[in-house]
Structure 1
Amino acid sequence: MSAAAPLTAEVLPAGLDGFIIRFALTPDPAAMVAARRFANRLEDEAPKGVTEIAPALVTVLVRFDCARTGRADRSALRARMEAMAQEVIAGPLDMPDPARRWTIPVAFGAANGPQLAQVAGAVGTSEEAAVRDICAADLRVLTIGFAPGQPYVGLLPEAWNLPRMAELNPSVPAGALVVAVRQFVLFGAESATGWQQVGRAAFRTFVPAREEPTLLQGGDAIRFAHATPAEIDTLEKGGDPMGGARLEVLR
């Protein structure tokens, strides 16, 4: 994924104890890459006093400990982040190599993905080809947000730049895989959504009782694997919130 046009970066105050580093006002693909590369670099080189690094799609929120960070330190921190952001947008603007890869089984179409046919028609392909494209896509967790552990996963090719629906679907089930604007969301709980449901997984993105309630991390590689409805039903009935998902540690 490479930039189509030069990016800019802004370091903006966020209350008394933070900054927002913003690479775009809209979900521009190059800005998404920049935000991820900036967050990775900041996590590797976290300045003294930084207490939180929270990447979103095209921004990164950085919070610091006011008791440990005086005015001069804050000015230095801002200057360092401005310099780092400029280095990031200078390139390369390719998604950094993933440290981990998840393979998540999904049943597509019919009751499990009631809008797959509509999505395939909008993309200009058949349902079978759409499923093949989804399962072959090299995807990443772009950010975690909206609900605990909920991943935004992308990016799909430009043909999948589908608008959100004009009206909300009042309810999709836990495990619903929905798509819009070249991205997927995998819901951890029943939810309303303006995105179109194409599949269903038994994997649960957030389980409070689990030792690690949230398993997915920003930057993780994601592969969706075609499963039958019966396989997903069996995984759900088995009670394992991993839902057949497999994790590979790549580095």
Structure 2
Amino acid sequence: MAFTRATGKHRAPSRLSRKSAHVAGVAAIATTGVIGTLASPALAAAPDAAPGSLEDTGLNQAVITDTLAEQVDAQAEAQELEAQEAAAKAAAQAKAEAEAKRRAEIRVEAAREAKERADREAERKRLNAFQLPIAGTYVSTGYQTGGAMWSSGSHTGIDFHAASGSSVVSVGAGTVVEAGWGGAYGNNVVIRMNDGTYTQYGHLSSVSVSAGQTVMPGQQIGLSGSTGNSSGPHLHFEARTGADYGSDIDPLAYLRSHGVNV
């Protein structure tokens, strides 16, 4: 005879059935990796719940927790990336500033060197420059002009027009080799120029340099006058290849060869 269960009553699940259900639940958890569901009791749908609604089953909490963790991780990664980008920008900015500073220093150094070169060149030109022995003057007696006034029978230099007491300057850079009385030349100054030639300034009323002294172009060496064998105030100027009398050369050609407009 067949046995049937009584209707209208619910029997509690057998021990074996409960164990099987528990194992199945654990297996499902292991498969999904959601451990959080073990911490929350499963909730059945409330008898008075609206159709289609579910109460918290514990699994929902685990999914939400995982989602928040992912958001936190993503935010942390974004912040780390932002920090890396900021550090990279700061490093690039520091590098750019260092390069700009280096370039500025190079420009300053180049400008300094250029100024030093320009100063040296200007000084070189100044030292090599020649000028008239008296400003605004003109030649009153030419070179090798004949006459009884000169013992050699001709003029060994040129005379520059000058009122008594006019400033007489060295025509270029050199060293004084004679300063004082020069016989027929009166008070005179002889200078060995830096190029090895010599210049002489005669008939001075006074001398303001001494032998052995270095003079620069345009430096005053005395005042014009009419001392010695002279017929009136003027400056006798000679150019020579040596220090002694008789080594004279054309003073006008000499001055012009050194860039003096006379």
Structure having the higher helix fraction is 2
User: TM-score, with normalisation over the residues of structure 1?
Assistant: 0.20
> Which is higher, the Rg of structure 1 or of structure 2?
2
Q: Greater strand percent: which structure?
A: 1
Q: Relative contact order, CA 8 A, sep 6+: which one is greater? A: 1
